[in-house]
Structure formats: structure tokens, C-alpha cells
Amino acid sequence: MNPASETVFQVLQSVLVVLIAPLVLGWVNQCRAWLQNRSGPGIWQPYKVLNKLFHKDAVLAHNASPLFRATPYILFGCMWLAVGIVPVLATSLPFAPAADVIALVGLFALARVFVSLAGMDIGTSFGTLGARREMMIGFLAEPAMLMTLFTASLISQSTSLVTIVETLGQNEFIIYPSMAFAAVAFLMVLLAENARIPIDNPSTHLELTMIHEAMILEYSARHLALVEWASSLKLTAYFAIGFAIFAPWGIARAGDWIGLLIAIGALVVKLAAAGAGLALLETVSAKMRIFRAPEFLGTAFLLATLGMLTHFLLEQ
């Protein structure tokens, strides 16, 4: 394997995923519209929104600190790194060893802390409300995510996502009971972390129920565009992590061009299915009261921990 083609693959994957991330969001929204018997804005709508936002003049509160202005860029950088590390299209990428699953969870935590701080920076009532709720969701979702990933790590004896994909993808198909627990927990975390129903509603602007939207209320124009783009990247990254652990098929090795074509095809199919599934899930469930969210995530945390225990008790 020559390093040059690995680097090409690395760049290709990062750029491609960053470009298609808004499309994933557009697809989810479109599916939701269809399921709700609406015609929907079309799957290209997120690009139009981003373009519009980038054109506008940024409006900044008088007392905004540098932290507030830097956060969208930091957030975007974190999410770009995340999709660079996760084997979306190919394994053995040069950046992949820079962070294993624990560092990946840390990366998401870093992004969350910065957004929450930015939410508190202006000192508005909604900003702090959003930050408080986001951290409340985060402190339960983060360990649940970590436990889910540990279950996969224990099976493949590695915390490196690449090794996890290679071990789980190349073994003959075995259903691990622990992975069933992990999958449910992961789904719950995915919903919570990406501000989806039943925890949060991405399309709400009803003041009292919003979480993620409340934090980024003061952002406008290019800052808002970057934050929104980063959110769609985060959703894509979560999908990709889910695929890597629970459906690790069709991922190419870096340098294998035919494999890459297969990987792109597999990715499109998987993303389409996952997006449609997410839309279905969001259509059939209702948003929870905020006080129920800890129960929901506590269940995810317990399930993930149970998954790990199951691995120790049954699978060794």
C-alpha cells in the first residue's frame, strides 16, 4: 500500500462526506415530509439554506466574546476530523490512528462543550437554558456511547475503529447478544445526540421545548451556516459509526479503487435506508417532556452497560 494513494483516499473521503452531509439531512427531511403527507422542500434544500446564510451579513451581539465567534469554526473542525477518522468509505486511512473510539467520543464532547459555552456567552435566558439542557443530555449520552463502543471493542479486542470494522466485517456472520443491547443503546444515543425526536425537535422554534436550537439562537449568517453544516456532519458521522460497528460491510481498504466504487454504492444504500428509518422513527414517535429525557438516556446507559456485562458473562 503506498502512502500517496492512502492520502488520496483520506482527502477523498473527508471532502466527499463533508459535501454530502447536507444531502443526508435533506433526505431525512424529505422522507419525513412524504411520511407526513406533505410534498416537502426537496432534498437539495439544505444546500440552498447554507448558500443563503453564507451570503448574509453576520449580526453579532454587542457583548459577544471571541469564544462566541471562534466556536462555529471549532465545531466545524471537530466534525470534519470526526468524518475523517471514521471509516466511512475506507479503512487504513492515514489519519485513522490519530483517534480511536474513546478519542472520538472525546471529540464530540469537545464540540458539545464549545457550543454550550457559546450558548452562555451572550447571557440570554434561552442560551443558558439550551446549554444546561444540552449538557444534561450530554452527560448521560456520552457514557452510554462509550459503553456501546466498548462492547464492540471487547469483541474485536481493540478500540481502534479500523480494527473493529475489519474484525467484525470479515468474521462470518455471528449474532452477538451483547451487540443487540449495544445497537439499541446506540440508536437511543444517536437520537439524543443529534437533537432528534423524541429528545429534541430539530424543526422547532417553540421556546420552551427547544434544546439545540436554543443554544445557537444568537448565531446568524456564516456562523449559523457552519453550525448547521456541522450538525449535519455530526448526523452523518453518527450514521457512519453505526454502520462501522453494526453493518461493517462494503468498506474498502485504502488504495483499492474498485473497492471504493463498491463502498460508495454501499454507503449510498446504507445512508438512504438509515435516513428513511430515522424519518419513520421521528414520524411515529412524539417528543418527550424534558424531564423524561434522563430516563430515556439512563435506559440507554444501562442497556449499554448490560451489553458489556453480557459480553463478559456469555461470550467468553
Partner 1 sequence: MQPVGAAVTLSVIWIGLGIAGLAFARAPRVITGVVFPAGAAVALALAVTGLWALGAPASSAILPAGLPDLPFHVRVDPLSGFFLLLLGGVSFGISLFSCGYFRGEGEQRLGLLCLQYHVFLASMAFVLIADDAYLFMVTWESMALSSYFLVTTEHHSEQNRKAGFIYLLIAHLGALGILLSFGVLHGGHGDYTFDALRQAELSGFWATAAFLLAFFGFGAKAGMLPLHAWLPEAHPAAPSPVSALMSGVMLKTAIYGMVRVIYDLIGGIRWEWGLTVLLFGAATSLFGVLFALMQHDLKRLLAYHSVENIGIILIGIGLSMVFIGSGHPVAGVLGLVAGLYHTLNHAVFKGLLFLGAGAILKSTGLRNLNEMGGLIRYMPHTAFYFLVGALAISALPPLNGFVSEWLTFQASLQAPLLESSVVRSLVPIVAAVLALSGALTGMCFVKVYGVAFLGQHRHELPEKPRDASGWERAGMIWLALACLVLGLLPVLMIGYLNDVSRALLNAGLPDEAMASGWLWLAPTSAAQASYSPIVFLLVIAAVFALTFLVVRLVYHGRLRRADPWDCGFPEQTSRMEDTADGFGQPIRHIFAPVFLIRREIPRPDDPQPVFRQEIEDRHWNWMYLPVARFIEVLSRHIGKLQQGRISVYLLYSFLTLIALLVFVQ
Q: Does 78 bind partner 1 (CB under 8 A)?
A: yes
Of these, 6, 142, 193, 228, which contacts partner 1 (CB under 8 A)? 142
Q: Is 271 exposed, middle or buried (0-12, 13-18, 19+ CB in 10 A)?
A: buried
Q: Does 147 bind partner 1 (CB under 8 A)?
A: yes
Question: To the nearest whole angstrom, how small is the minimum distance from the Cβ of residue 269 to partner 1?
Answer: 29
Secondary structure element (H or E) that encloses residue 90, with its range: strand 90-91
Question: To the nearest whole angstrom, how small is the minimum distance from the Cβ of residue 100 to partner 1?
Answer: 5
Phi, psi angle pair for 90, to nearest 5° = -145, 150
Q: Does 20 bind partner 1 (CB under 8 A)?
A: no
Question: To the nearest whole angstrom, how small is the minimum distance from the Cβ of residue 154 to partner 1?
Answer: 7
Q: Does 129 bind partner 1 (CB under 8 A)?
A: yes
**Rule CB under 8 A: which of 223-262 touch partner 1?**
226
- Which residue number, 38 or 205, has a Cβ lying nearer to partner 1? 205
Task: Name every residue whose Cβ is closer than 8 Å to that of residue 187 and which is 6 or more positions away in sequence.
Answer: 242
Q: Does 44 bind partner 1 (CB under 8 A)?
A: no
Strands 252-253, 90-91: pairing is parallel
Q: Does 47 bind partner 1 (CB under 8 A)?
A: no
Q: Does 13 bind partner 1 (CB under 8 A)?
A: no
Per-residue contact string for residues 24-43; x = within reach of partner 1 by CB under 8 A: --------------------
Q: Which of 72, 73, 98 is nearest to 86 (CA)?
A: 98
Q: Does 95 bind partner 1 (CB under 8 A)?
A: yes
Q: Does 15 bind partner 1 (CB under 8 A)?
A: no
Measured between alpha carbons, how far is 153 from 163 in angstroms, rounded to an integer?
9
Rounded to whole angstroms, the maximal C-alpha distance in the chain is: 60
Measured between alpha carbons, how far is 194 from 242 in angstroms, rounded to an integer?
13
